[in-house]
Structure 1
């Protein structure tokens, strides 16, 4: 396992990060016991970095895993939509209590779009900075689906970490191309900002070109770590072997290839109809102002996801 320093935070992180979203109620909905076993598999195999968020509902899973692992050996970064001192205080209190820890290694403003949204959430950021001074938080930053989010975060000297979307097709980037995102990240790195990427497989939509998708992100020397969702021990093993440049055993490949997957459309879909118009298999339609999928027609190609500006569509 390779470890990198996460920019000016000084935190030493594995170059693959355990993305906790997928084990929680928004996707697999694993029990805390089930989820903790997958987390522990990752930790015991060298991953020392966990990404989570208030929204994900995975704090109990992490707490359960930490009962069997030394807290000081794990880097945990979380996120919230806090916009005021009060909401920031509540989100930090929840994170510490629900994960059973005295501190978090990073607290990010979730899904920031630009300088304007960062300023709109600045009161929360100020609170997190004060908690950083007191030792409850070790770094602050933003997550973003926007090129402008990365560019504008550079303007704030307080920002230690940026968590942007990076995948070979630019799936989920709201306001530009993957080339533009990479250039923005390159500028952030020049300012010694830590970068850990999200969605290397485009929310599962690139799962059938796994090697190509992972090779693309791993080739970028401007990224300190890659957060990827993992729901089983086999996925943990396969992803670790991949980042280490080793061969994934055939039995693990078969098990993962035989996993039953489906197209998931998130609850925040606004029914814009873009995906419906692009689906050549006629597997999507709008019902009650939301997109719905016909599983008998869907071939899980994931092409529709490229046209969803709100990143509602995932293959899980």
Structure 2
């Protein structure tokens, strides 16, 4: 099994993190099975968040008796200190623990720092002084915020999207984290579901010995897929390199990562899915994309009022209304 050291935290875990966002969509019994099996097979890093509904509670239900053997990372979307402390206390209660290993600001629009007027970073420091958290982290989809966080020297870990579809600026960010001894936690290593070859995704990230990928797991077969790589890690051979090259040619550029930060849409367009339709048409079975439900979703694009709220909120600075229009055009002519 490969292990990874999360920078200056000196936390060492298996190079297979459990992303607990998807378990909010399944029952307690199903999540018990997944979480216990993951632990029994060596997975010791679990990433959750206050906003992932009952994800924290499910982790506690399955693994509270293993607390000293696992690393838990959670997050707060608080914009003020009152909400920060409320989120932290709720997370501690839900997780049935008196400390969180890595507590992260959850995709803030700015990089919290001392004396910025928000009081958020000071609250993090106080929580650490009280022993309620061990390390301070930040997650983001905005490259500029991630770069500022890294440059500030204030953060022990950075969580950021990273896959073999990353551009050079994102790859540079990963290298800079190693240089500054900041733990790098890779979300969306499958690019929000656009990457269908998990072995290629795993092999690519395997090149970066300081990067911890967290895989969003909802089904037992998904868990088993990543567990097998702990026994025999995929390598960048000719077959995998050809897969990566083909996917890069097809997918890189202005594509929607399905992060969901554009939502809610005032006219209820399912933006994260509809903005990816042209890619889904090439990668998903026709039986899936041609359903009445999909037709209804895509036709909702015609109701777009060009309010540009989605464009303003997109962390990747995509022209979302134009992306939706193009995807509808492709869908109607496919």
TM-score bin, normalised by smaller chain? 0.7 to 0.9
Q: 1:161 aligns with which of 152, 157, 163?
A: 157
- 2:216 pairs with 1:201: no
Deviation at 1:194, TM superposition (A): 0.8
Q: Calculate the aligned-residue CA RMSD, in Å.
A: 3.3
Within 5 Å, give how 1:125-204 maps onto structure 2: 125-170=121-166, 178-204=167-193
- Is there any run of 5+ residues in structure 2 with no aligned partner, and where? 235-257, 282-289, 306-315, 325-334
Match of 1:217 in 2: 205
C-alpha distance after superposition, 1:251-278 (max 9, x if no partner): xxxxxxxxxxxxx895815457982795
Q: 1:137 to 1:277 in 2, by over 3 A?
A: closer
Structure 1: how far apart are the matches of 2:280 and 2:188? 24
Match of 2:240 in 1: none
Match of 1:16 in 2: 16
Question: Which range moves more in the overlay, 146-155 or 43-52?
Answer: 146-155
**Bigger CA radius of gyration:** 2
Within 5 Å, give how 1:64-143 maps onto structure 2: 64-67=61-64, 69-115=65-111, 122-143=118-139
Q: 1:245 to 1:119 in 2, by over 3 A?
A: farther
Structure 1: how far apart are the matches of 2:158 and 2:304? 33
Structure 2: how far apart are the matches of 1:33 and 1:150? 37
**Residues paired across the two proteins, number:** 267
SS across alignment from 1:150? helix
Q: TM-score, normalised by structure 1?
A: 0.74
Deviation at 1:155, TM superposition (A): 2.8
8 A contact 1:114–1:146 mirrored in 2 = no
Point out the structure with the larger helix share: 2
Within 5 Å, give how 1:56-67 maps onto structure 2: 56-57=52-53, 58-67=55-64
Match of 2:46 in 1: 50
Structure 2: how far apart are the matches of 1:287 and 1:77? 41
- Is there any run of 5+ residues in structure 1 with no aligned partner, and where? 171-177, 248-263, 291-304
